[in-house]
Structure 1
Amino acid sequence: MVAEDGRGLVLVVEDDPAIADLVGRYLRRDGFGVHVERDGPGGLAAAGRLGPVAVVLDVGLPGLDGVEVCRRLRAAGDHVPVLFVTARDDEVDRVLGLELGADDYVTKPFSPRELVARVRAVLRRGAPRPAPDVELAVGPVVLRAGSRRVLVDGREVALTATEFDLLAHLLAAPDRVFTREQLLGAVWGYASSAGTRTVDVHVAQLRAKLGPGAPIRTVRGVGYAGGAP
């Protein structure tokens, strides 16, 4: 749903009124429309009813936790960008779990300015953009930049916007080794050593979806490179 200001509506699902109010104020200040729900069932219903451009989703929600809300959205074919808010760092692997396809996360306590910046970055990654009809192929994996499609042995594989952009960045410079910080800056739109785990989890998601021919190599102690595994 596009708001009157053109930025779009962000659904905030957060049971702490103070946090929801703070996040909402900063998003509105940046030009977004905001709708707030206080529990998981309400958030799930609002996502289907309102068609937001992004969802800021707390993990520890009453009724349904944020992980289950995201799982149900994805199972219904809704790939709206999801940014999780987690209470603990040790929840990161869970909220970015392979079956969910979440796009990013922040850990409490967080800077509301950083959260808004990450929402903007998630939307930039998923926004339609002009692209040459470039085809990159490594083994059984074919990436078509113009249509933003990925095929494995001729079968299309559904990727999130983040997963697609990460794979495209790696394949565009085959055999070049990128540090996690470089990938954060190029794909996520920010650079922070504290956030490098999200790179590792998204690489794991890509490998799980693309199978044994996934064209991503781990370079121990450095980062990742595109090319034959």
Structure 2
Amino acid sequence: MVALNWVLFVVGLVTYQLVNRCAQQIVKRTNPDFYMTLKADKHRKLAPYFVFPLGFFFTLLTTPICIAAYNDTSSVTDIFGLDRPFTTNGKICLASRAILWTSELPLLSYSPEYIAHHILSLSSLGLFLIGKGPRRPLYLIYAGLVTELLSDSAVLMRFHGRTPSSSPILRNILFANVVSMVLLRLLPIIAHSAAMSETRADYLGGIASYCIHISRLSFVQLGALGY
């Protein structure tokens, strides 16, 4: 990762593994029956289960930092091709996402969709940094990932046997997630990109792909809810 603090990155990877192991021990001691249910399928249940509570708290902690990084970065100098130093908030915002996606990859190996998403996300981050693109769009996109608080909650409820048809709470969370993806992820990056004084074809292509991805997720979730 160009210009990012590798020490921060490595420490983050180690910290994630330690917290993951601690979370497993807590569940094992407080709810041994549920833990044994997860352990019966390590690949599809035990490994991925703890990804989502960790992702929840990770997102809760880093979203304000990404918002601060967006506000700290001057729009005047945030242009294509200009090499400039990262703010502290900017380093933490980008490194935190790289740490999370890298740590989750082996744990979510049961799902080709999750693997593809994480690899594409890491690749796009790397290409963006190597290409010295404007950073405010990245900070805005990563701040918008606050919607994962809802999606992670929904996945955890499914692990505990809830379904949209049997749980009104889960149904409401899924619907709120769709609305939040449109309001906090789709519309902000479209508005920001439209207001930029300079854009490039590769940038617009990347943003278009991102918007298509969010739109697809929204329609899939609405379909699951029967809309």
Q: Same fold (TM over 0.5)?
A: no
Larger Rg: 2
TM interval, short-chain normalised = 0.3 to 0.5
TM-score normalized by structure 1? 0.33
Pick 1 or 2: higher relative contact order, CA cutoff 8 A, min separation 6.
Answer: 2
More strand by percentage: 1
